[in-house]
A and B are shown apart, each in its own frame.
Chain A
Amino acid sequence: MSLIQLVLVLFAAFALARVLGRFRAGVIRLPECLLWTGLWAGVAVVVLDPNLTQRVARVLGVGRGVDAIFYLTIVLLFYLVFRVHMRMRGLERQITELVRKLALLSAK
């Protein structure tokens, strides 16, 4: 095992522990927990067996395994940014509602 593999696997293990911790603390729900668990477990598997990505790449019609990972990661990141963005808009709306309610309450 090369050093980079060790570092990445340790990091994935750390992230996985955090995800499970958040789940047990009730911060995230089961679907979200499964999503993140799957993601970090996937990272660990791919790091430990890089040839796996080669096979995936061939199935997807991409040249190299690393490229396949890059493409998939970019798509996933875009999706996450979109989700965070929507979430933020929702929060903004809630803050405005709150500020409005306070203003109307203290006027009475």
Chain B
Amino acid sequence: MRCFIVIAAFNEGGRVGPVVREVRARYADVIVVDDGSIDATAAEAREAGAIVLSHAINRGQGAALQTGFEYALGHGAEAIVTFDADGQHRAEDIDTLLAPVRDRGFDVALGSRFLHRNPSIPPTRELTLRLGVIFTRWVSGIRVTDTHNGLRAFSRDAAARITIRQDRMAHASEILDTIARCRMRYCEVPTDVRYTTHSLRKGQRSSAAFRIALDFLLGRWEE
């Protein structure tokens, strides 16, 4: 099965290179969508062997993932995995994540840090994520344990049906909403998240959750 790994990267110079190498050791087709970075992200990713798509200006993670999806679908992808550029995911988790899509007919497999044996999640981050779970259950009616995990696997068909319109961070809720609305077959797979000082600083602050929720609700109402 030809699987494309889509990595959205914004100013991840120094980190995206090792991430691409780690993934490339297992999967040949790695796409890095450089989302208007002002550092060496694109050059580093290309040097590590990734196909690099460059956004001329920063449009947000959701927009970057959609660009990667369109490229992958146009180049014969049979499955697509989204993977974060900052090194928080482990490449070996891709195999376990792909298994349900490849072998058991699932449309989508979602990574969940909360299903992992020994999750080591900072307390405030855990609280925010748990609230996200409740919010998603309430708004979209989908029962998952980790709504904002960047590690996901999609069958070609599922990826083609999901169009990410939320350019910024609300795309995570939007993807789940589409999964629920289209009644896709999905499952959760335990995956690890490596929290580093970098990923915590660069990642979303807990206070951003409200804006993300508002973005999502406004976008949903517009459809």
Binding site for B on A (CB under 8 A): 89, 92-93, 95-96, 99-100, 102-104, 106-107
In chain B, what residue has the closest Cβ to A100? B67
Q: Are B222 and A89 in contact (CB under 8 A)?
A: yes
Set B56, B70, B71: member contacting A99, Cβ < 8 A? B56
Query: Are B67 and A95 interface neighbours, CB within 8 A?
Result: no
Residue in B36, B70, B165 whose beta carbon sits within 8 Å of that of A104 in the complex: B70
How many residue pairs, one in A and one in B, have C-beta atoms under 8 Å apart? Answer: 40
**Contact between chains at A103 and B53 (CB < 8 Å):** yes
Interfacial residues, chain B to chain A (CB-CB below 8 A):
33, 36, 51-57, 59, 63, 66-67, 70-71, 74, 165, 167, 222
Inter-chain contacts of B56 with A (CB < 8 A): 99, 102-103
B222, chain A: closest CB distance, angstroms: 7
User: CB-CB < 8 A to B66: which residues of A?
Assistant: 100
Within the complex, the shortest CB–CB distance from A56 to chain B, in Å, comes to 34
Task: Rank and list the top 3 A-B pairs by shortest CB-CB distance, nearest first.
Answer: A103-B53, A100-B67, A96-B63
Q: Is the CB of A104 within 8 A of B53?
A: yes
Which chain A residue shows the least CB distance to B70?
Answer: A104
- Taking A99-B56, A100-B70, A104-B53 as given, write out 11 further A-B residue pairs in contact, using a Cβ cutoff of 8 Å, ordered by the A residue number: A92-B167, A96-B63, A99-B57, A99-B63, A100-B63, A102-B55, A103-B54, A103-B67, A104-B71, A107-B52, A107-B71
Name the one of A93, A96, A107 contacting B51, with C-beta atoms under 8 angstroms. A107
Q: Quick check: B55 and A93 within 8 Å, CB to CB?
A: no
Residue pair B165, A93 in contact (C-beta under 8 Å)? yes
Enumerate chain A residues within 8 angstroms of B54, measured Cβ to Cβ. Answer: 103, 106
